[in-house]
Amino acid sequence: MAEQPRPGRTGRPERPDRPGRTRRPERAGLPERPGRPERAGRLERPRSGRRAGDSGTRAAILEAARARFAGHGYDGATIRGIAADAGVDPALVHHFYGSKERLFTAAMRLPVVPSEVLTEALAAAGRNRDQASPGELLVRTALSAWESPEVLSVFTGLLRSALTSEAAASMFREFITDAILRPVGAMTRARHPEAGPADAAYRASAVASQMVGLALARYVIRLGPVAEASAADLAATIGPTLDRYLTGDIRARPGPD
pLDDT tens digits for range 139-189: 988 898 888 887 788 788 888 888 888 877 877 887 777 777 878 888 778
Report the pLDDT value the prediction gives residue 6, as an integer from 0 to 100. Answer: 55
Domain ranges of the chain: 57-107, 114-247
Instruction: Give ∠ CA 144-141-61 in degrees, rounded to 5.
Output: 60
Q: Does residue 30 have a pLDDT over 50?
A: no
The more confidently predicted of residues 219 and 112 is 219
The CATH number of the domain covering residues in 57-107: 1.10.10.60
More confident residue, 196 or 60: 60
Q: What fold is seen in the domain 114-247?
A: Tetracycline Repressor; domain 2 (1.10.357)
Phi and psi at residue 7, to the nearest 5°: -60, 140
| pLDDT grade for 112, boundaries at 50, 70 and 90 | low
Q: Which residues of 115-125 are buried (b: 16+ CB within 10 A; e: fewer)?
A: bebbbebbeeb
pLDDT mean over 36-49: 44
Residue 209's pLDDT band, with cuts at 50, 70 and 90, is very high
Average pLDDT, the chain: 76
Whole-prediction pTM value? 0.59
Q: d(Cα 187, Cα 180) in Å, to the nearest integer?
A: 11
Specify the higher pLDDT residue, 114 or 59: 59
In whole angstroms, give the CA distance from residue 240 to residue 134.
9
Measured between alpha carbons, how far is 153 from 70 in angstroms, rounded to an integer?
6
| 65-80 CB burial, b ≥16 within 10 A, e <16 | bbbbbbebbbeebebe
What pLDDT does 229 receive?
97
Is residue 17 scored above 80 in pLDDT?
Answer: no
The per-residue pLDDT for 211 is 92
pLDDT, tens digit, for every residue of 49-105?
444 455 689 999 999 998 888 778 777 889 999 999 999 999 999 999 888 877 876
Nearest to 234 by CA among 137, 114, 120: 137
Find the DSSP H helices in the chain: 57-76, 79-86, 90-97, 100-107, 114-127, 134-146, 149-164, 166-176, 182-191, 197-215, 224-228, 231-247
